[in-house]
């Protein structure tokens, strides 16, 4: 008789621990209609001051390049935030509800969130991202690593009104923790950021919490280097948006005809990423054409930097009460843990 192989054990033994992980559910939410998406892209490109929404930076290539950016010497936010999380892990975890549902906003590969799950004994992980393929992959990896938690994914885009209640309320005994790391909030104009924070606040009920990472203003040279690195990875990330829209919109941008530029606008406290035309050129945009003179540019991203007082003010305006702040020694980056107003007073 041949000895049982590990496969036999898996197939014939009914020990539940050997069962496949809970199959992750993915809800596809309010995905922008492609016609609408293309129309707004086109409208942005035809404006006197041409712009492309930063959400278009994250196609498969863009996600890979962004992953590389996070490892650059010059790009301090990811590393600084990770150090703050690691240093204050237990202190923060003690302030969070147990058996929560961990709502990972813009989850990407989920790595930042997965480091929290065991510390908070999360009962459910809700990954929210615009990139559906990545989301599936993230949920599958998470479900393997945390077999006791339920894994759910929502494909949506934060430029639309955030409405996750039908998913979060499906289990009314899990308190939500909204996790929005990486200073992604900085991509929104301040009034949009306020609206998004308000929407998050509405999802929290009384006991939910928001854990959010926010980059701070600092010397322009440091900021500009973080967005214009010596290896040219951020330049590639920026130019890649032209390849992406050539494919999806059928335009004929020549990525090499545009230079990457990152400038810090002190007054508005934001980094602006530009693609600057190196020479005069005409680009075909569907049925329209757009001329770019040498030096004319497309704005591809704003990344706002908030002083801690300013962000606390924004959180208060959004309906948060008690706010704990965690930072690094240099005060380069801040993590805020915010409770709905009235919850703890
Ligand atoms: C993903 C929006 C947080 O603004 O720092 C990195 C994107 N752009 N380098 C940021 C980005 C250029 C990043 N966020």
Q: What is the pLDDT of residue 118?
A: 87
* Ligand 1 atom nearest residue 182's Cα: 3
Distance CA 222, CA 77 (A): 11
User: Is the Cβ atom of 300 under 6 angstroms away from ligand 1?
Assistant: no
First and final C-alpha spacing in the chain: 70
More confident residue, 109 or 162: 109
The share of the chain scoring above pLDDT 90, in percent, equals 74
**What per-residue confidence (pLDDT) applies to 331?**
98
- pLDDT, one tens digit per residue, over 5-59 is 333 333 333 433 333 346 777 777 767 788 999 999 999 999 999 999 999 998 8
What pLDDT digit, counting tens, does each position of 252-303 carry? 999 999 999 999 999 999 999 999 999 999 999 988 999 999 999 999 999 9
Mean of the per-residue pLDDT values of the chain: 90
| Ligand 1 atom nearest to 66, measured from its CA | 6
Q: How far is the CA of 182 from the centre of ligand 1 (A)?
A: 8
**What pLDDT, on the 0 to 100 scale, is given for residue 20?**
39
Q: Which atom of ligand 1 is nearest to the CA of 262?
A: 12
Query: What average pLDDT score do residues 109-129 get?
Result: 93
- Record the pTM: 0.90
Other C-beta atoms closer than 10 Å to the C-beta of 241 total 27
Cα 75 from Cα 78, distance rounded (Å): 7
- Ligand 1 midpoint to CA 226 (Å): 9
Note the pLDDT of residue 260. Answer: 98
200-215 confidence digits (pLDDT tens) = 999 998 999 999 999 9
Helix axes 233-249, 34-46, angle to 10 degrees: 120
What pLDDT is attached to residue 6?
Answer: 34
Q: How far is CA 240 from the centre of its chain?
A: 18
| CB 80 near ligand 1, within 6 Å | no
C-alpha 61/C-alpha 269 separation (Å) is: 29
Question: Distance, CA 303 to ligand 1 centroid (Å)?
Answer: 7
**297-304 and 270-277 strand pairing:** antiparallel
d(CA 305, CA 186): 6
Angstrom distance (rounded) from CA 197 to CA 180: 10
And the tokens for 62? 């863009």
Token pair 């006791």 in the structure block, residue: 148
Q: Which CATH class is domain 26-30+71-218+306-340?
A: alpha beta
**Phi and psi at residue 167, to the nearest 5°:** -85, -45
Q: Count of residues for the chain? A: 345
| 5 C-beta neighbours (distance < 10 Å), count | 9
By CB neighbour count within 10 A (0-12 exposed, 13-18 middle, 19+ buried), where does 306 fall?
buried
Tell me the C-alpha distance between 318 and 308, whole Å.
Answer: 15
Establish whether residue 182 lines the binding site of ligand 1, counting it when its CB lies within 6 angstroms of any ligand atom: yes
Instruction: Please indicate whether residue 69, judged by its CB atom, sits closer than 6 Å to ligand 1.
Output: yes
Contact 211, 135 (CB under 8 A): no
Helix segments in 95-185, DSSP class H:
111-120, 132-145, 165-168
Map out the domains of the chain as residue ranges. 26-30+71-218+306-340, 34-69+219-304
Ligand 1 atom, smallest distance to 187 CA: 2
What's the gap in Å between 305 CA and the centre of ligand 1?
11
- Mutate which of 67, 79, 180, 183 for ligand 1 pocket (most atoms within 8 A of beta carbon): 183
Q: What is the pLDDT of residues 204-247, one digit of tens each?
A: 989 999 999 999 999 999 999 999 999 999 999 999 999 999 99
């Amino acid at each position: 008789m041949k000895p049982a192989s590990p496969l036999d054990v898996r197939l014939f033994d009914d020990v539940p621990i050997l069962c496949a992980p809970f199959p992750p559910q993915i809800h596809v939410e309010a995905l922008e209609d492609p016609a609408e998406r293309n129309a707004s892209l086109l409208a942005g490109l035809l404006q006197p001051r041409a712009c492309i929404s930063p959400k278009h930076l994250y196609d498969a290539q863009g996600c890979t390049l962004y992953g590389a950016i996070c490892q650059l010497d010059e790009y301090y936010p990811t590393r600084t935030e990770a150090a703050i999380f690691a240093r204050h892990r237990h202190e923060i975890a003690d302030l969070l509800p147990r058996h929560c549902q961990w709502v990972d906003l813009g989850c990407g590969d989920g790595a930042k969130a997965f480091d929290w799950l065991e510390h908070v004994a999360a009962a459910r992980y809700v990954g929210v991202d615009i990139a559906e393929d990545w989301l599936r992959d993230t949920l599958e990896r998470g479900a393997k690593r945390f077999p006791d938690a339920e894994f759910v994914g929502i494909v949506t885009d934060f430029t639309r009104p955030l409405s996750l209640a039908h998913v979060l309320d499906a289990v009314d005994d899990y308190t939500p923790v909204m996790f929005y790391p990486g200073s992604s909030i900085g991509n929104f104009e301040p009034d949009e950021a306020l609206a998004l924070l308000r929407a998050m606040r509405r999802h929290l009920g009384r006991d939910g919490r928001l854990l959010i990472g926010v980059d701070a203003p600092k010397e322009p040279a440091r900021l500009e280097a973080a967005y214009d690195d010596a290896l040219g990875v951020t330049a590639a990330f920026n130019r890649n948006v032209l390849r992406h829209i050539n494919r999806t919109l059928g335009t004929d941008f020549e990525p090499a005809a545009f230079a990457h530029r990152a400038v810090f606008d002190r007054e508005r406290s934001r980094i602006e990423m530009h693609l600057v035309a190196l020479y005069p050129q005409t680009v075909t945009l569907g049925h329209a054409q757009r001329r770019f003179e040498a030096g004319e540019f497309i704005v591809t991203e704003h990344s706002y930097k908030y002083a801690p007082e300013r962000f606390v003010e924004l959180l208060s305006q959004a309906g948060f009460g008690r706010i704990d702040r965690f930072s690094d020694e240099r005060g380069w980056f801040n993590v805020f843990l915010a409770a709905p107003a009235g919850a703890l007073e």
